[in-house]
Amino acid sequence: MAPILEIKDLTHVYSAGTPFEHTALNHVSFSVERGEFIGIIGHTGSGKSTLMQHMNGLLKPTSGSVVLDGKDIWSDKILTRQARFRVGLVFQYPEYQLFEETVYKDIAFGPKNMGLDAKEIDRRVRESADFVGVTPEQLEVSPFDLSGGQKRRVAIAGVIAMEPEVLILDEPTAGLDPIGRAEILENIERYRKAKNATIMMVSHSMNDVARLTDRLLVMNHAELAMDAVPGEVFRRTDELLEMGLDIPDVTRVFLRLRELGLPVEPIYTMEQAISALRQLKEGAAHA
Ligand code: ADP
Ligand code: MG
Site to probe by mutation for ligand 1, drawn from 50, 52, 169, 219 as the one with most ligand atoms within 8 Å of Cβ, is 50
What is the Cα 94 distance to its own chain's centre? Answer: 13
> In this structure, is the dihedral angle defined by the CA atoms of residues 266, 268, 273 and 276, taken in order, positive or negative?
negative
Please state, in angstroms and rounded to a whole number, the distance separating the CA atoms of residues 180 and 237: 29
The whole-number pLDDT of residue 169 equals: 97
Q: How confident is the model at residue 97 (pLDDT cuts 50, 70, 90)?
A: confident
The whole-number pLDDT of residue 203 equals: 97
Average pLDDT in the 79-93 region?
Answer: 95
50 Cβ below 6 A of ligand 1? yes
18 Cβ below 6 A of ligand 1? no
pLDDT in tens, 125-137: 999 999 999 999 9
pLDDT reading at 44 higher than 90: yes
The whole-number pLDDT of residue 285 equals: 80
Which one, of 3, 9, 34, lies nearest residue 167 by Cα?
34
Cα-based distances in Å from 164 to 63, 78, 105: 26, 16, 19
**Ligand 2 center–CA 175 separation, angstroms:** 13
Provide CB contacts within 8 A for 124, sequence distance 6+.
107, 108, 111, 116, 161, 162, 163
Please state, in angstroms and rounded to a whole number, the distance separating the CA atoms of residues 186 and 169: 13
pLDDT in tens, 223-240: 999 999 999 999 999 999
User: Which percentage of the chain shows pLDDT scores above 70?
Assistant: 100
Provide CB contacts within 8 A for 227, sequence distance 6+.
30, 215, 216, 217, 218
User: Which percentage of the chain shows pLDDT scores above 90?
Assistant: 88
Cα-based distances in Å from 8 to 3, 5, 29, 221: 12, 10, 5, 18
158 Cβ below 6 A of ligand 1? no
Nearest CA to ligand 1 atom 12: 24
22 Cβ below 6 A of ligand 1? yes
Provide CB contacts within 8 A for 112, sequence distance 6+.
121
CA-based R_g, the chain, Å:
21
173 Cβ below 6 A of ligand 1? no
End-to-end CA distance of the chain: 52
Nearest CA to ligand 1 atom 7: 49
15 Cβ below 6 A of ligand 1? yes
Q: How confident is the model at residue 280 (pLDDT cuts 50, 70, 90)?
A: confident
Please state, in angstroms and rounded to a whole number, the distance separating the CA atoms of residues 269 and 11: 34
Nearest CA to ligand 1 atom 21: 14
24 Cβ below 6 A of ligand 1? yes
pLDDT reading at 104 higher than 90: yes
49 Cβ below 6 A of ligand 1? yes
Please state, in angstroms and rounded to a whole number, the distance separating the CA atoms of residues 150 and 133: 9
pLDDT reading at 272 higher than 80: yes
* Amino acid identity, position 60: K
pLDDT in tens, 136-188: 999 999 999 998 889 999 999 999 999 999 999 999 999 999 998 999 999 99
Which one, of 206, 200, 235, lies nearest residue 31 by Cα?
200
What is the Cα 121 distance to its own chain's centre? Answer: 25
Average pLDDT in the 207-234 region?
Answer: 96
Average pLDDT in the 252-268 region?
Answer: 89
The whole-number pLDDT of residue 264 equals: 86
**Ligand 1 center–CA 238 separation, angstroms:** 25
Query: Under a CB-based contact definition with an 8 Å cutoff, are residues 82 and 70 in contact?
Result: no
249 in the Ramachandran plot: left (φ > 0), alpha (ψ -120 to 50) or beta?
A: alpha
Query: Under a CB-based contact definition with an 8 Å cutoff, are residues 265 and 235 in contact?
Result: no
Q: Which ligand is nearest to the CA of 92?
A: 2
* Residue 50 alpha carbon, nearest atom of ligand 1: 6
The whole-number pLDDT of residue 135 equals: 95
